[in-house]
Amino acid sequence: MAELTDDDAWKQALRDVPRHMFTPETALAFPPMEWLDRSVDPDAWWAAVYRNTSLITQIDDGATELTRDSATRKVWAWSSSLSEPGAVLAFLDLLDPYPGDRVLEVGTGSGWTAGLLSARLGSDNVTSVEVDEQLAKTAAANLAESGFEPHLRIGDGAQGCAEQAPFDRVHVTCGVASIPYPWVEQMRPGGVLVAPWMHGAREGFRVRLVSVGDAAVGRVCGGASYMMLRSQRAPLSPIEGDKRNAATRVDPRRIDQANSGFSLALAGLLPGVSIKGGVINRTDDTFRMSLRELHSDSHAIVIQPASGGEAEVSQTGSRNLWDELEAAYLTWVGWGGPDQDRFGLTVDATGQHVWLDSPDNRITEVQ
């Protein structure tokens, strides 16, 4: 796996912290979806461990046993994994720690990335926080067997670890819709935070933020898809209430095919709205998009015939989400359809703010 990074220090860390020492005897490789059992097929197990793929190690936060059947039947309930090595190294390269840096890691999981950080910086410079007590115990055992003893804490990683602060680097291994301000408060000025930013609108992104003291500022650095920080999982309200039918002004397929910059624009224009698109119904080949506000009953679904043409829109709740999405799309088009490399993020005591081209040009919510 050393070819996944150009950094010689990370290549050495990969040799010092072999991934198999953090992989359980049974797991689900994805992609492709392949059940692994070391006692039954050790060759397949070893091949998957050193392939660039994710290994699912827990479902339902540990409430359901991980088996061949449960892992594939409850895809939506995957709750912990050994992330794809390429994704791990992409974040570690962005983190770019210096010798002697103190690092806060949020999401210990199996302990593998805490081990990689410990191999590079020394165990005493690494603090890792895990919300799941059983995962934390397993990680501690894996790390001890590998010869590393970073500072391990059990708790909500959104709160960071004030007792070990300040940190030069913050490394986040789970998706976050909103960057918690305690992470910024616990960084030294000039410190770096990297995280999978999963704000809900279509896709997730890698972000790299630099502390300027009372805020952290940075840009998007590519795509990412991670399991969410448990304290930021959105409780979905039931879809209830009268349906309001409407017509589309914009072809839904145009909106669905907009570049990644549009997804980032939506993080500022329609914060807190989840958008799922590009779904072809297997029964009638219709094109479908759905939207919902994560903390309310507002919902919209758009159905377009396979042949194209006029789409049907159904909206419920206090907001007309499809109308708002069309307005957001036309606003983004009016900016020239900027792609992801022109967007950035500022996190301060008032929250997180998406901007275009410059931190002074913050995007405001569609009204």
Active site residues: 83
Q: In what order do the strands lie in the sheet with 312-316?
A: 244-247, 312-316, 299-304, 287-293, 273-280
Q: How far is CA 359 from CA 217, 329, 362, in A?
A: 8, 21, 6
Could you count the other beta carbons within 10 Å of the beta carbon of residue 180? 23
Handedness of CA 248, 301, 320, 365 (dihedral sign): negative
Go through 309-333 and write b for each residue having 16 or more CB atoms within 10 A of its CB, e for each that does not.
Answer: eebebebbbebbbbbbbbbbbeebe
Residues belonging to the chain: 367
Residues in contact with 198: Cβ distance below 8 Å, sequence separation at least 6, in sequence order: 175, 176, 177, 204, 224, 225, 226, 228
Task: Give the rounded distance of the alpha carbon of 207 from its chain centre.
Answer: 10
Question: Do 263 and 271 form a contact (C-beta atoms < 8 A)?
Answer: no
Which of 353, 170, 146 has its CA nearest to residue 269?
353
Tokens of 141: 């055992």
Q: Which secondary-structure segment (H or E) carries 185?
A: helix 181-185
